[in-house]
Structure 1
Amino acid sequence: MTTYDIPKPTTELDDAIAHKINFKTKPLGALGQLESLAKQICQIQQTLTPVLTKPSIVVFAADHGLAKEGVSAYPQEVTHQMVLNFLGGGAAINVFSEQQGIDLSIVDAGVNFDFGDSPNLIHAKIAMGTGNALVENAMSKEQLTNAINKGAEIVRDIQSKGSNIIGFGEMGIGNTSAASLIMSHICQIPIEKCVGRGTGVDDDGWQKKLDILKQVQQKHAHLADTAALLQAVGGFEITMMIGAMLQAAALGMVVLVDGFISTSAYLCAQTLEPNIQHYAIFCHQSDESGHQQMLEFIDADPLLKMNLRLGEGTGCALAYPLLQSSVDFINKMASFESAGVSNKD
């Protein structure tokens, strides 16, 4: 698997960043999480005057062979139907991205559908969906490598056009099952505490989903590393997102992590390159069961909690104005000295 050199931001500017934040015309710490956001973005960009340019969100879509076992309330066809909806501008992520002036890219990472030429789609199909993890590996080693590399390539192209902040979303019927299996393995949490309702399964559906995922775990009981985990149970969209996240951090971009599925990709990325944590901002706590535990495992403090469980990168789009506010206050807000306001003794 390709390796990525992600440097830990230096601490040389930390005192100056803290001074600039603390001496704005406000009580110490009064802007709360906006202050920690501003500090993190300054550290990533190694500057006292951070700027967010050409914000981007990439939605990776793929199908899962395990969906054939009935782990979702929706049929597999919904994956390609939603991709067509994205391309037509009709999904929530389209609305929120347009509202915030965010460039949106849609990627066919492995959808079981032929989209033809589709000019607004990034064609990166690894295969027509993964294998059924209940009976075989989800993907081969070659497919894993191709997905990681393609995700990185897509991010390099976006960064070359001027973007320095990028969020990641997904679409794939059955992908909460893959994310639950990843979470259980990496976090060492029993699978029953990781399995949620996904796209809205009822009680019987949830029990069926849990039973199937327990069988999948039994089949793939001995996994040597993250690569083996992804080969066994991963999705092409999740794997491509891992390569994208790693490449974005290696390029010094701000990495916006969406909900349950995206955080499972981040978990894998962090096991491969721990320094990615310095570049990642967690946009929201999903309403999907297990996401809170996932966030606690990586000691992440999400920006929003709005009971979202849609995916698509919607949390990234909704959180983006908070990042812009954090940058604007550190750049534009007056200091006590410049405003002639008395500071406390």
Structure 2
Amino acid sequence: MRTYHIETLDEIFRKTAQDRIDSLAKPVGSLGKLEGVARKVATIQNTLNPQLKNPHHILFIADHGIVAENVSPSPKEITWQQALNITQDGAGINIFTKQHNFNLIIVDAGTDYDFPKDISIIDRKVRKGTRNFLHEAALTPDEVNFALTYGEEVVDLVAKNDCNILSIGELGIGNTSVASIWMSLLTNIPLQQCVGAGSGLSEEFTLRKYDILQQSVDRYTGPLTPMTIMSEFGGLEMIMAVGAMLRAAELKMTIIIDGFLMSNSLLMASKINPEVEQYAVFSHKSEERGHILLLEYLGVEPLLSLNFCLGEGTGAVCAYPLIESSVRMMNQMKSFEESRISHINKF
């Protein structure tokens, strides 16, 4: 794994941005979370007049060997079938990316399917799904490094399109199992509290899923590092997202974080380089039971709570208009002085 060089954001400029926001013609703090987003985007771009350029949404797709243990009621074929549906503009993510003028990039990180060569899916397949981590490591360290690198390469691709804000989504039956294990091992929160229903499991099925995942964790007795966790319990779409987030932060992009899956990819990225968190805007709180605990662990409060649990990055894209509003506030709202309004007393 290479070393990621992510610049620490300037605390002095952060205060300058906050002072500008506080000077605007409104009561201090009255625009709530938008003010925090505006401060973050301005600090990332190191300007009091930030701009959002050419937003992209990267969707990584992959399959998971653990699905063989019936941790999901959905067959793994849904992964490639839904991917094809997305290429035909038939999914939720298509609606929202079109609505908010995102360029949608679909990347095959590791599906157990051979897509036609003439469709709009970028082939970065590391292997046809991970191995079953109940019995063996999901990936080799080399495969993890390939996935990280491919994630970086996709970000470099969108950066050439003058993109400075991106969101990332995932598609892969069984990936909540991966996310639950990552969350538990990286936070020390008990696994049972991290395991949710995924795609529509009953409580009984969820308990069985937990039992299988606990057996998987017990199988591995080695050191717990980002590399060993990704290798033993990895998902290729999630690892590519980790690489993408780290590279985006190196390039000083604003990264919109989706729900449970992508919050765990951000968690993993932060264990590799903590500075990546400074570039993240958390979009929404999902319906996965572990997501609330993870957000609390990270000390963040997302913009929205829409009861989403779809995945694909839909929540991140839906939050974009609020980020855009925060930037418009910085650029277009006049200060008290500019408006010749008497300042409101600060108590």
Q: 1:127, 1:116 → 2: CA distance?
A: 17
One-letter code aligned to 1:65: G
Is the 1:126–1:143 Cα contact (8 Å) retained in structure 2?
A: yes
Distance in 2, Cα, partners of 1:16 & 1:204: 53
Identical-residue share of aligned pairs (%): 40
Partner of 1:190: 190
Deviation at 1:13, TM superposition (A): 2.2
Aligned counterpart, 2:82:
82
Aligned equivalents of 2:221, 2:264: Cα separation in 1: 19
**1:62-82 C-alpha deviation (Å, 9 max, x unpaired):** 000000110001000000001
**Using the alignment, how far apart are the partners of 2:189 and 2:343 within structure 1?**
49
CA contact (8 A) 2:14 2:40 kept: no
Distance 2:268 2:15 in 1: 32
Q: What is residue 234 of structure 2 aligned with on the other side? A: 234
How well do the aligned residues superpose, as a CA RMSD in angstroms?
1.0
- Offset, 1:116: 2.2
Aligned residue for 1:290, secondary structure, equals helix
1:260 positional shift: 0.6
The SS at the match of 1:320 is helix
Provide the C-alpha distance between the structure 2 equivalents of 1:317 and 1:120, rounded to a whole number of angstroms: 20
Task: Show the 5 A alignment for 1:313-332.
Answer: 313-332=313-332
Query: Counterparts of 1:15 and 1:192 in 2: how far apart (Å)?
Result: 41
Aligned partners of 1:113 and 1:18: how far apart in 2? 49
Q: Which amino acid aligns with 2:79?
A: T
Task: Quote the Cα distance in structure 1 between the aligned partners of 2:31 and 2:119.
Answer: 44
Amino acid in structure 2 at the alignment position of 1:56: H
1:191-219 deviations in Å (ceiling 9; x for gaps): 11111000011122112111100110110
Q: Does 1:23 align with 2:23?
A: yes
The size of the alignment, in residue pairs, is 345
Partner of 2:120: 120
What is the CA distance between 1:16 and its match in structure 2? 2.8
Asked whether the 8 Å contact 2:154–2:244 carries over to 1, the reply is yes
Whether contact under 8 Å (1:10, 1:43) holds in the other structure is: yes
Structure 2, unpaired ranges of 5+: none
Tell whether the 8 Å contact from 2:59 to 2:106 is kept in structure 1 after alignment.
yes
- The residue type equivalent to 1:85 in the other structure is N
Deviates more, 1:7-16 or 1:144-153: 7-16
Measure the CA separation in 2 of the matches of 1:24 and 1:16. Answer: 13
2:59 aligned counterpart, secondary structure: strand
In structure 2, the residue corresponding to 1:179 is in which secondary structure? helix
Q: State the shift of 1:245 in Å.
A: 0.3
Give the whole-Å Cα distance in 1 for the aligned partners of 2:28 and 2:41.
Answer: 19
How far residue 288 of structure 1 moved from its aligned partner, in angstroms, is: 0.6
Unaligned 5+ runs, structure 1: none
Summarize the alignment of residues 17-96 of structure 1 with structure 2, pairs less than 5 Å apart.
17-96=17-96
AA at the equivalent of 2:326: S
The 8 Å contact of residues 41 and 254 in structure 1, kept in 2 or not, is answered as yes
* Cα distance in 2 between the residues matched to 1:298 and 1:13: 23
Q: Which residue of structure 1 aligns with residue 129 of structure 2?
A: 129
- TM-score, normalized by length of structure 2? 0.97
In 2, distance between residues paired with 1:188 and 1:223? Answer: 14
Q: CA deviation at 1:237?
A: 0.3
Quote the Cα distance in structure 1 between the aligned partners of 2:304 and 2:221. Answer: 35
Kept in 2, the 8 Å contact 1:97–1:104? The answer is yes
* Contact residue 2 and residue 149 of structure 1 kept, 8 A: no
Superposition TM-score, scaled by structure 1 size: 0.98
Instruction: Quote the residue 1:165 is aligned against.
Output: 165
Counterpart residue number, 1:256: 256
After TM superposition, the structure 1 stretch with the greater mean CA deviation from structure 2, 46-55 or 213-222, is: 213-222
CA distance in structure 1 between the partners assigned to 2:11 and 2:190 by the alignment: 38
Equivalent residues of 1:170, 1:313 under 8 A apart: yes
SS at match of 2:122: strand
- Cα distance per residue 1:41-64 (max 9 Å; x no partner): 111000010000001111100000
Q: Distance between the aligned counterparts of 1:53 and 1:92, measured in 2? A: 23
Deviation of the 1:313 alpha carbon: 0.4
- Quote how far apart the aligned CAs of 1:256 are: 0.9
